[in-house]
Amino acid sequence: MYAGKILCVNLTDLSFSILSPENSIYDKYIGGRGLCGHLLSTHLDSNPLIFCNGPLTGSGYQTTARCAVMHINPKTGGIFRSDFGGRFAAALKNEGYDGLMITGRAENPVSLVIDNGVRFGRVTDDFAVVEAGAHSGINWCSILSDGFFTTHRGGTGTMMHRMNLISIGIRPAAEPQKPDTSAYEDIERLINAAPSLTGRPGIGRFGTAALYDLAHARNILPNVFFNLPKPDAHTNACAIGETESVSCGSCTIACRKRKNGLRIPEYDGFAMLMSVGIPFDKIIETYNFCLKQGIDVITACHCIAQSGMDAEEFLHSIPEEFYNGADRFTVKGIELPAIAPDGALGAALGYATSPNGADWTTAMALTHEILRKPVPTDRYSVEGKAVINIAYENAKAAADSLPVCRYALFAVSLEEYAKASGTTAAHLADCGNEIFMNEISIIRRLGFGMETDRLPDGLLKPEQQKAFDSELKKYHRMRGLI
């Protein structure tokens, strides 16, 4: 379940050491995102780059191959947390580590290799790998894992460039067997029962870009806040045609898609590129160019909309004035994702209160406001969303720490994953609360006060804004922040 060790690498003197967290740290922070937060909080002054797996990594349970990453966001000075799929998390666990914490700066560009020990040198081709995107100028450069998986926003690639760290390679672990347990069956039954996951029009078949049709029909695509023409309804995920599924590992949904060797964009990337006017037949090519370059598509599309430049021209020669991203539609310096706030007010509240900045993956309101799970809620009403968002923020924080993929939460609750990890849903939710509040504490130390929990002006209608402000206050009261 746990390896009990964190590998700490100092690039300045190319040394490494081992941290052995107390059991109480694992009890409180679980692993993954929670453990990342604990390490970041404890070593904040060293500006570390942290990757952590969790207790379910390598267990074979569905969607548990995610690797958590956390660091100070080089673009905003705030916190950045995310996760990515692929072999990296399981490989790190297989080498005997729950986490990898990197500090310092190498004198010359290096690659870190973890293979029955630690060395600096060439990464073997078949290793699980994390590499920085090629664009070293922008402060929002992403990473690429196993040449396919990525994190959105946050500048993890920028961190690696600044550390003179080209890549990290780990000898891969064998794919785990699926567990023969009732918990596995319970989870699988829920995944199979969810139309949004494994249904014929679901993300298991069309990738998360399948969400484009709902966003289009509900008028919540980014063109709404960019004030650009609404893209065509018919140039959607179905129009891409049949694709090849790529599993993050231990996943029976397999929502990552590939066609002719190229990755199909996820929902945010697809909706953003369509909204800023990239022609449909150029979407996949453009997205894959961005992947290799480490150009975060959401940030880039905000810059394109703000600059008024031709999209292709912008992406191939990003003007220096946009090296720190756009600044019109941001929360805590992070650009809004691809769901317009005025058509999903729980999501909007989640943007404002996420320690990460504008981010729908923290409060996950998309799940109930758009996908109607576990029950539908009124997307035009913010009333009552504070308490729901808090419950989801805590559940998501716990899920990220086990780790479990955000898309599994479209159907599966903590109750089923608690059974898989030998605890209760309530205990996981309590841990999730600790994990979330630790991140709040970190952003406070980084200078982001409660006044930064706000949406950009003018996105909500006046009557929406009034209700929003009232619910935001309620949120702060319930979180014990005022």
Partner 1 sequence: MSLYDKYINKLKNQRLADKAVYVVTEDRVSVYGGDASTELMLAAQELKAYCLLFVRPAEPFMTALEEAAKDGEFAPNDSETRTFLHTVPVTDNFAEVPSALKRRKAVFVRRQGIITAAPFGAEQAFIFASSVLFSGFVKFFSDTGEAALLRNPCCTETALKLFDKYIENFHRSDLPELSKDIMRSDESILSAMAQAGRATVELGLVDSFFGNISVCKGKNIYISRTGSSLDELDGEIDVCPTDESACTGLTASSELASHRRIYEITDKRVILHAHPRFSVIMSMICAEKCENRGKCHYACTKKRYVGSSPIVPGEVGNGPRAMVNTLPPAMKDNDSVTVYGHGVFTVSANDFNDALRLLTETETAALKEYQSILLASQTSTRSPL
- Binding residues for partner 1, rule: CB under 8 A, are 186, 188-196, 198-203, 206, 210-214, 217, 233-234, 236-239, 368, 370-377, 384, 386-388, 391-392, 395, 415-416, 418, 424-427, 474, 477-478
Q: How far is the CB of 198 from partner 1 (least distance, A)?
A: 4
Stated as kind and residue range, the H or E segment containing 198 is: helix 195-198
Cβ closest to partner 1, residue 113 vs residue 237 = 237
Selection from 337, 156, 224, 298 nearest residue 287 by Cα: 298
Kindly report whether the peptide bond that precedes residue 176 is cis, defined as omega within 30 degrees of 0. no
Cβ closest to partner 1, residue 115 vs residue 188 = 188
Distances, alpha carbon 83 to alpha carbons 12, 17, 36, 54, 337, in Å: 26, 24, 11, 12, 16
- The arrangement of strands across the sheet holding 128-132 comes to 118-120, 110-114, 165-170, 128-132, 143-145, 149-150
Q: How far is the CB of 164 from partner 1 (least distance, A)?
A: 44
Kindly report whether the peptide bond that precedes residue 222 is cis, defined as omega within 30 degrees of 0. no
How far is 279 from 255, CA to CA, in rounded Å?
A: 23
How far is 264 from 257, CA to CA, in rounded Å?
A: 5
Cβ closest to partner 1, residue 38 vs residue 368 = 368
Q: How far is the CB of 66 from partner 1 (least distance, A)?
A: 22
Cβ closest to partner 1, residue 122 vs residue 473 = 473
Q: Are 106 and 12 in contact (CB under 8 A)?
A: yes
Q: What is the DSSP string of 77-103?
A: SSEEEEEE-SSHHHHHHHTT-SEEEEE
The burial of 482, by beta-carbon neighbours within 10 Å (0-12 exposed, 13-18 middle, 19 or more buried), is given as: exposed
Cβ closest to partner 1, residue 18 vs residue 426 = 426
Cβ closest to partner 1, residue 196 vs residue 356 = 196
Q: How far is the CB of 462 from partner 1 (least distance, A)?
A: 24
Q: How far is the CB of 213 from partner 1 (least distance, A)?
A: 4
Q: How far is the CB of 201 from partner 1 (least distance, A)?
A: 4
Cβ closest to partner 1, residue 100 vs residue 347 = 347
Q: How far is the CB of 346 from partner 1 (least distance, A)?
A: 11
Selection from 376, 443, 336, 370 nearest residue 72 by Cα: 443
Q: How far is the CB of 195 from partner 1 (least distance, A)?
A: 5
SS3 286: helix
Here the tokens at position 162 are 């600044």
Report the phi/psi class of residue 48: left, alpha or beta, with left for phi > 0 and alpha for psi in -120 to 50.
Answer: beta
Q: How many CB atoms lie within 10 A of CB 182?
A: 11
Cβ closest to partner 1, residue 211 vs residue 331 = 211
Selection from 404, 397, 407 nearest residue 428 by Cα: 397
Q: How far is the CB of 334 from partner 1 (least distance, A)?
A: 26
Q: How far is the CB of 237 from partner 1 (least distance, A)?
A: 6
How far is 40 from 38, CA to CA, in rounded Å?
A: 6
Cβ closest to partner 1, residue 6 vs residue 428 = 428
Contacts of residue 16, defined as CB under 8 A and 6 or more positions apart, other chains included, come to 7, 8, 9, 10, 118
Cβ closest to partner 1, residue 241 vs residue 261 = 241
Extended beta strands in 13-153, E state: 15-19, 49-52, 67-72, 79-84, 99-103, 110-114, 118-120, 128-132, 143-145, 149-150
Selection from 353, 361, 363, 357 nearest residue 450 by Cα: 353
Cβ closest to partner 1, residue 211 vs residue 276 = 211
Q: How far is the CB of 349 from partner 1 (least distance, A)?
A: 14
